[in-house]
Amino acid sequence: MEYDDELQAFSFVTGLALGTLIGAGVALLLAPQSGRRTRKRIVRVAEDLGDEARDRIEDAADDVRRHAKDAVRAAERGGSRLKDTVRRGPLGGR
């Protein structure tokens, strides 16, 4: 459940960033400025968006790593409990 929510949030943010990039590019291309100024603005906006996207991807990767570590710990705890239960036998070691 939590994974689906995070995937939906990541998809939304990705779509939002892509839409922003496309919209900014179109706006800059249609703006009444010289070609040189427009190209410089496009480069600057693209770099800013790239930096923001990189930051968000790094944050998402950190979240995935944290969840993976939590899952491994939970699996190890569950495995230890199962091992203890098997050692004790069906009647609790009697």
Domain chopping of the chain, boundaries: 2-87
Q: What is the mean pLDDT of residues 10-21?
A: 84
Q: What is the pLDDT of residue 84?
A: 81
CA atoms of 19 and 34, how far apart (whole Å): 24
CB < 8 Å & 24+ apart, contacts of 64-71: 67/2, 67/3
Each residue of 22-73: pLDDT tens digit? 888 787 777 777 778 878 887 888 898 889 888 888 888 898 899 999 999 9
Q: What is the pLDDT of residue 94?
A: 53
Q: What is the pLDDT of residue 90?
A: 64
The answer to whether 42 touches 25, Cβ cutoff 8 Å, is yes
What are the DSSP E strand ranges found in the chain?
none
Q: How confident is the model at residue 93 (pLDDT cuts 50, 70, 90)?
A: low
Q: Measuring CA to CA, which residue among 74, 66, 60 is closest to residue 6?
A: 60
Q: What is the pLDDT of residue 4?
A: 72
